[in-house]
Amino acid sequence: MKKLFPTSTAGSLPKPSWLAEPETLWSPWKLEGAELTLGKQDALRITLKEQEHAGVDIVSDGEQTRQHFVTTFIENLSGVDFENKKTVRIRNRYDASVPGIVGPVSRQKPVFVDDAKFLRAQTNQPIKWALPGPMTMVDTLYDDYYQDRKKLAFEFAKALNQEAKELEAAGVNIIQFDEPAFNVFLDDVNEWGIEALEIAKAGLTCETAVHICYGYGIKANTDWKKTLGEEWRHYEKTFPAIQKSSIDIVSLECHNGRVPLEVLSLLKGKKIMVGAIDVATDTIETPEEVAATIREALKYADADKIYPCTNCGMAPLSRDVARGKLHALAAGAEIVRKELSA
Ligand SMILES: [Zn+2]
């Protein structure tokens, strides 16, 4: 029988301090050239072992080889100027220095495919690989060329599709598109965001996921969350159309937020990566807290569709805290697994 409640993380995990400045987004590398390549591979080995040791079922690269979950992919496309960065406001929330679109975008070469092959060679566990979603990419740059968000998103989706097909061929089991922007531009999601995702996943035979969250646990995001009211009902606006899409898995934020879990009932038939770990606090959840979130999700979704996960990436956390949270996640899932088999 298939194991219930397979655990995974949303994506990023902290990097070792010898590779990049810890607890920082867009942290510059501390190594260069061949040393950097080897350093990234060592970091990838460590993050894999830590996930396996914690008992995480679906493992990932912890995004050890990329500086940022969006810009690293964008910077590898042609048509992008990453030398003349400009400051833009991301998701209407915080300013960041980002690359720009100055010509037609296209993918000339694989971006993460070698990293995925490397990870595949290290483990027999199922692998999930995160890519940025088209809408979130559009929101993380300036565009002096297309000047049309939908058009640019569709171009990105084509590039993502090329990458995704090669990742699948490299042995990736689940390809995940990160779309935090789906919780901000709700009308656009329904008008063209999901359509863009369908282009990005066209022709894939592996499973696909979309990760939609309220962002990393950085101050700009936690401040924004305070303005969102007593109940966060963003998911309610987009889940009906996502339910009709061909995406297999939806990853969302549940624990410690104000998301009413009844939104899960809008995802009938989908697998659901239930965020049971808060990435915005250093407090490590107890396994019992994780179990409580899973039990709550069970009110709205079938057991075989629930995949316990983290709310978002853990890159900005300390390694000790992230490690503790991984262990709590796996232990919490095991509690509910035992309850159901009793
Ligand atoms: Zn996230």
Would you give the distance in Å from CA 220 to the centre of its chain?
18
The confidence band for 219, taking pLDDT boundaries of 50, 70 and 90, is confident
Q: CATH for 33-66+125-136+163-341, among 3.20.20.210, 3.20.20.70, 3.30.70.20, 3.40.50.920?
A: 3.20.20.210
Q: Is pLDDT of 48 > 70?
A: yes
216 alpha carbon – ligand 1 mean position (Å): 6
120 alpha carbon – ligand 1 mean position (Å): 24
11 alpha carbon – ligand 1 mean position (Å): 8
| pLDDT at site 165 | 98
> In which order are the strands placed within the sheet that holds 78-90?
78-90, 94-106, 142-143
Q: Please give the C-alpha separations between residue 170 and each of 115, 116, 128, 173, in angstroms, as whole numbers.
A: 9, 6, 12, 9
Q: Is pLDDT of 233 > 90?
A: yes
pLDDT in tens, 238-267: 999 999 999 999 999 999 989 999 999 999
pLDDT in tens, 289-326: 999 999 999 999 999 999 999 999 999 999 999 999 99
Q: Is pLDDT of 155 > 80?
A: yes
Q: Please give the C-alpha separations between residue 179 and each of 29, 62, 207, 278, 288, in angstroms, as whole numbers.
A: 25, 17, 17, 18, 29
342 alpha carbon – ligand 1 mean position (Å): 34
34 alpha carbon – ligand 1 mean position (Å): 31
- Pick the closest to residue 29 from 13, 45, 43 (CA basis): 43
- Pick the closest to residue 129 from 237, 201, 25 (CA basis): 201
110 alpha carbon – ligand 1 mean position (Å): 24
Using a pLDDT cut of 90, give the percent of the chain over it: 85
Longest dimension (CA), the chain: 60
Every domain of the chain and the residues it spans? 33-66+125-136+163-341
114 alpha carbon – ligand 1 mean position (Å): 24
| pLDDT at site 215 | 87
What's the mean pLDDT in 3-19? 97
108 alpha carbon – ligand 1 mean position (Å): 27
The confidence band for 1, taking pLDDT boundaries of 50, 70 and 90, is low
| pLDDT at site 313 | 96
| pLDDT at site 80 | 93
Q: Are the C-beta atoms of 333 and 307 separated by less than 8 Å? A: no
| pLDDT at site 97 | 85
1 alpha carbon – ligand 1 mean position (Å): 31
69 alpha carbon – ligand 1 mean position (Å): 10
Using a pLDDT cut of 70, give the percent of the chain over it: 100
Q: And the tokens for 146?
A: 């297309």
213 alpha carbon – ligand 1 mean position (Å): 5
The pTM score is: 0.96
Least confident of 5-9, 47-51, 53-57, 82-86: 82-86
Q: What share of the chain is helix, strand, coil (3-state, %, to 5)?
A: 45, 20, 40
pLDDT in tens, 158-181: 999 999 999 999 999 999 999 999
| pLDDT at site 57 | 98
| pLDDT at site 217 | 81
pLDDT in tens, 122-143: 999 999 999 999 999 999 899 9
253 alpha carbon – ligand 1 mean position (Å): 8
Average pLDDT, the chain: 95
8 alpha carbon – ligand 1 mean position (Å): 13
> Can you tell me the distance from the alpha carbon of 202 to that of 176, in angstroms, rounded to the nearest whole number?
13
pLDDT in tens, 85-116: 888 888 888 888 888 999 999 999 999 999 99
pLDDT in tens, 199-217: 999 999 999 999 999 988 8
| pLDDT at site 326 | 98
